[in-house]
A and B are shown apart, each in its own frame.
Chain A
């Protein structure tokens, strides 16, 4: 078990900057999930840690060892791939023991290690089989088993569950959590699925365009996103965003005016960042689940009603204001009721809105006021 320390890591593909000076510390035994949209650099960062991509600058330490220029096999890391990447010509046991065989470990010791790993994952019955005889879930277990067999200091997962069906994904998610507890290993996990990120991570690293946007615990990131990107990326459906103008910025308070709504006043939670002045354009954010009941109410013409059983999502056009950005269509907002709600498309609903549930972002996208907890 080991820490991972990344400092100033840069990776370019030609003119494209895939990683722009990444600094990241991962603690011993921590489960870190890296999320971000496609092309944000999360996989590149993982592959750089694995040694599959050579960084152009910066340093990677595993434990107290500088592994920046080490061969992948010498870094003490093991990786589980999205497509399993099992060796098709070897048996399950052969796949799992291959790394140890390459390291020159004696056959008996390999067999023991394979046995141990297969017990952990309950794939003992399949050891003699070829990968092509296994189901997708079994293959992924073997791939994980292959990583376990090598007893690495750090486990790397590259979207390991994305090829599985929804039910299996949920089961494997739980199992990976169990595995993490059992092995107490350092794990770095890349995904684009926020459910995986929110449920499994000790800490989430949000990346965008090759840079880290924010690092923190799942709840922290969700409740106190550092900027508009993180606020928008975590949470589904996305946060509703409205354009506003500052009408007052004094005594640790911000007041913003939105066409069609009363002025919104929130405490200035973050003082760093650009100087705020009256007349500045700002953005207001409010999560779909914060709407429904509250201080004021507005009329919403429902366009789409999604009844998900446990909750209901209503996409619609507000009567007297417009949103910008968001999952709904231009100008539309989305409301999430944590229950079943009888409504039909075309209907006009009255929706409550708590005025303290707004986040305020400055024109750089930095969060200046957080929503009150509800």
Chain B
């Protein structure tokens, strides 16, 4: 008897839990899945505003952390349960596979309507991440498949208060490498920390080194190097490696920089213990949380050469895609057009301290965010280069720079070693 009762109890419990009634609503409702915890409250505010304006309800549904979100999106794609709007985290090939499977709507015609009105409102480099060019290697029809919601750039920041303490003009940060190096001895004399960054996570070294490579030899020569047409032993590359030695010798780099994780670097800069930091635009939000009174400015890395413009890594931070199978796709596009409009973008930027994807709203956001956003003019990213370096070469390159900073190797030695790895990888590829 007891056993039957247990089974009956379980059945009742399961039946009760299994019931999920569906409400019938005459108004269209757009469902958006995202992973951006820090933007969720602002998205909800904007959704309410949009509902007041149009009567269209927008449900922003947060699924964090990003790893779990990615799994959910993949699972939902398999089950054809994707929402009206969603974002894809991952590489361009993942993006392409979703398009090929028919999950993502081609937005080109919407972008180009009204004399490219929507398209022209974005930073072109932010849109580039969501575009597929003619003859792309993924076999995707050329067009725009995503809407950037915000952007990201990686630049340098400097502490204005510490600048004043060093006898420097806080409204005139260093523009050239020499000016930057000249600050090193002053930092040493004052017993402060110089440049901090997450160079323990080596990709950030790679980022700054590539910035200088573009500045010293130009994009074409960097691309030729990746294609194997120019060796890393070329004098221009040795110059790039030498910059790190010069920085170390001048004392402008913080102690322990090569093993520093970005969270520690952010903490040092936010607590006014470091004069400079090399960080992504997300740092504005991080610093605000750690020290709301921090006074700082964002600058491009001081340029080492006049020959080519300084370059930084940047592009779309987060993008939304429209479900090609959604019955609400037209309404979803209308909402995305509204969301990426000037006022909404400025509101989103002010509330979340992220950079707006709309290039026309910089006057409406805090100066430090505008400084970061203006950097988009100089932005590039390996994802849009069309060629990619061997991972072993990148590793040898980044580890080599670490060795230069700790005085273990000379720039010439590192250039030789990187070139050897490059030749080995090229030979392997030729042998295939």
| A and B together in one complex | no
Binding site for B on A (CB under 8 A): none
